[in-house]
A and B are shown apart, each in its own frame.
Chain A
Amino acid sequence: MSKLTDLTMAEARDGLAKGAFTAVELTGAHIKATEAQRHLNAFIVETPDLALDAAKASDARRQAGNIGSMDGLPIGIKDLFCTEGVQTTAASHILEGFKPPYESTVSGKLKAAGAISLGKLNLDEFAMGSSNQTSYFGAVENPWKKKSDPKAKLVPGGSSGGSAAAVAARMVLGATGTDTGGSIRQPAAFCGITGIKPTYGRCSRFGIVAFASSLDQAGPMARTVRDCAIMLGAMAGYDPKDSTSVNMAVPDFERALTGDIRGLKVGIPKEYRPDGLSDEVARVWDQGIEWLKAAGATPVEISLPHTKYALATYYIIAPAECSSNLARYDGLRFGLRVPGKTLDDMYKKSRAAGFGAEVRRRILIGTYVLSAGYYDAYYAKAQKVRRLIAEDFRKAFETVDVILTPTAPSAAFGMGEGTDDPVTMWLNDVFTIPTSMAGLPGLSLPAGLSQDGLPLGLQLIGRPFDEETVFRVAGVMETAANFTAKPEGV
């Protein structure tokens, strides 16, 4: 038998069902992997004792014949999901020590399905970043290395960088992520794993530390398409506690993996091939188109004319919403307090000490674009362009069933690179942000390796609440790509 940590979630589920190993054994193997890979800094808090207790309870449930869809499967939870009694920080100093008295709906549903949490995974502070370098608890290291320079430390992408690194390094079978502008898909691409941002409204946002509420959406990150389908099935569903969660039945996503995509029309947006797109990324995209053709689908060139404005639109809307959401960190009810002479003085000192540079920058931009006299010029204008971006997709989906694009403009880059200029860093999300603006499901899967031995991802975008077609096409691409490479030493 292969190492327990090399199993996919589906294989582990079958192994548990057959009694080949216990949840305690499976959990123990993953706890050991977590300890062995601590240098990656993927976890902010490890909870091995809670995990082993939960694994024992899972084994007992199995004995009693009463198991959930993910019973006994070890996962990690991005430290943006409130977990009852376990520190939840959003990777910010301002929330250090915060122990929520309640559980987020999504992490609660995973626990109810029997999944075993090994702890809380590192991220960019308040999920604001594309490289996991803005975390107060230190950067996360990508387990993958360049062939040309194996000593250089690479970023795992962000903001769900701890989740992506932990899944890639076989510390967990899957992890929760959240995606506001690409925070599941870009790190999945950088770490050679699969991740899906479902349609906005598919998963409850209750108990997830809010960044930009009209964009934030939770999703699974795992090593295969099937594993993401299993995990999304456990995470999704209507929740009266989130007024934007949609009251719609959750399909059996695994059943969507039929392997048959004959006759499907796949949109290839011409605007996603800008001048200066890396040859390697363009090549892997062309390869993806060939795989789909070989499986009986038809590529169709489409136009999404407002694509080039998505980034600028995002960097008005997301900071505006963040400046409003983060107003709650006042040094009063939870988190960091720095004493001040007056109430205002205490607010200002607490927030200055508690927020990092990127978060402060976005709060200030957001405050500016919402301030009197500028609201219409910036915020209302961005909301109008957002509608045009969403309309582009709506029109495209009149003729195609799914859209194929690269996930990110490059492979993982080195730590410390691209931190001087925030706008350059934001370009990482140029292919993922339009999908977020339109609220559509987007999945990234590994499609190949760069010359330098690093994973490259492709993105599939679907119609609203049509994750099933996205999974079906992704399953076919995964088989064709046959991505079996692993990071060195894992």
Chain B
Amino acid sequence: MSLDKATVRAIAELARIEVKDEELDHLAGELSNILTFVEQLSEVNTDGVAPMTSVADITAPMRADVVNDGGYPDKVLANAPEAAEGFFTVPKVVE
């Protein structure tokens, strides 16, 4: 599979990573090489094989639905690049 620049731009958009136009050619080449490498899997017969989602042979555990943590907004916000009045702040999203 060979990716073109438009596809790389679309992937970067989905991943929310800004990519400069002059990087697109190089990235398209790198990502295409990786996809070519992984495409060898198409030669493996996987008919009737169920996808393996986890190696741990356990069912998701249940717990009581109770509040057992919280009440320290200052601690939660301590690492925020910007916070105000007990909230995380973001650029204006509504005009």
| Bound CA–CA A387/B49 (angstroms) | 8
Contact B88 A333 (CB under 8 A): yes
Taking CB atoms, residues of chain B closer than 8 Å to A364 are 8, 11-12, 15, 17, 27, 31
Contact among A244, A316, A363 for B15, CB-based, below 8 A = A363
Contact B41 A439 (CB under 8 A): no
**Nearest A residue to B10, CB-CB:** A371
CB distance from B53 to the nearest CB of A (A): 6
Q: Mark A432-451, 1 if CB is under 8 A from B, else 0.
A: 00000111000000000000
A231 at the interface (CB under 8 A from B): no
Question: How many chain B residues touch A (Cβ–Cβ < 8 Å)?
Answer: 47
Supposing A246-B56, A439-B55 touch, asked if A312 and B38 sit within 8 A by C-beta, the answer is: yes
* CB neighbors of B among A24-53 (8 A): none
| Bound CA–CA A31/B91 (angstroms) | 45
Contact A385 B38 (CB under 8 A): no
Taking CB atoms, residues of chain A closer than 8 Å to B11 are 364, 367-368, 371
CB distance from B3 to the nearest CB of A (A): 8
Contact among B12, B46, B90 for A381, CB-based, below 8 A = B46
* CB neighbors of B among A385-435 (8 A): 385-388, 390, 421-423
**Nearest A residue to B15, CB-CB:** A367
A152 at the interface (CB under 8 A from B): no
Contact B16 A348 (CB under 8 A): yes
Q: Mark A449-479, 1 if CB is under 8 A from B, else 0.
A: 0000000000000001000000000000000
Contact A313 B30 (CB under 8 A): no
Contact among A352, A383, A388, A438 for B18, CB-based, below 8 A = A352
Contact B41 A383 (CB under 8 A): no
A291 at the interface (CB under 8 A from B): no
* CB neighbors of A among B69-95 (8 A): 75-76, 78-82, 88, 90-91, 93
B52 at the interface (CB under 8 A from A): yes
Taking CB atoms, residues of chain A closer than 8 Å to B55 are 200-201, 214, 390, 437-439, 464
Contact B75 A101 (CB under 8 A): yes
Contact B52 A390 (CB under 8 A): yes
Q: Mark A342-376, 1 if CB is under 8 A from B, else 0.
A: 11111111011001000011011101100100000
| Bound CA–CA A438/B55 (angstroms) | 6
A272 at the interface (CB under 8 A from B): no
**Nearest B residue to A332, CB-CB:** B88
Supposing A240-B63, A385-B41, A390-B52 touch, asked if A337 and B81 sit within 8 A by C-beta, the answer is: yes
Taking CB atoms, residues of chain A closer than 8 Å to B49 are 384, 387-388
| Bound CA–CA A306/B52 (angstroms) | 15
Contact among B27, B46, B75, B76 for A385, CB-based, below 8 A = B46
Main secondary structure of the interface of A (DSSP, over half): helix
* CB neighbors of A among B1-55 (8 A): 3, 8, 11-12, 14-19, 27, 30-31, 33-35, 37-42, 44, 46, 49-55
| Bound CA–CA A341/B92 (angstroms) | 8
CB distance from A204 to the nearest CB of B (A): 12
Main secondary structure of the interface of B (DSSP, over half): loop
B67 at the interface (CB under 8 A from A): no
| Bound CA–CA A306/B49 (angstroms) | 14
| Bound CA–CA A335/B91 (angstroms) | 16
CB distance from A26 to the nearest CB of B (A): 34
CB distance from B65 to the nearest CB of A (A): 14
For B17, B35, B42, B88, which residue has the most chain A Cβ atoms within 10 angstroms?
B17
A309 at the interface (CB under 8 A from B): yes
**Nearest A residue to B8, CB-CB:** A364
Supposing A360-B17, A387-B50, A388-B49 touch, asked if A342 and B12 sit within 8 A by C-beta, the answer is: no
Contact B15 A380 (CB under 8 A): no
A340 at the interface (CB under 8 A from B): yes
CB distance from A177 to the nearest CB of B (A): 19
CB distance from B77 to the nearest CB of A (A): 8
Contact among B42, B58, B63 for A246, CB-based, below 8 A = B58
Contact A422 B79 (CB under 8 A): no
Contact A361 B81 (CB under 8 A): no
Name 16 A/B residue pairs within 8 A (Cβ), A-sorted.
A97-B79, A101-B75, A101-B79, A201-B58, A306-B44, A331-B81, A341-B91, A352-B17, A367-B14, A371-B14, A380-B51, A383-B52, A390-B55, A423-B33, A423-B34, A423-B37
Lowest 4 CB-CB distances: which A-B pairs, in order?
A: A439-B55, A383-B51, A337-B81, A334-B79
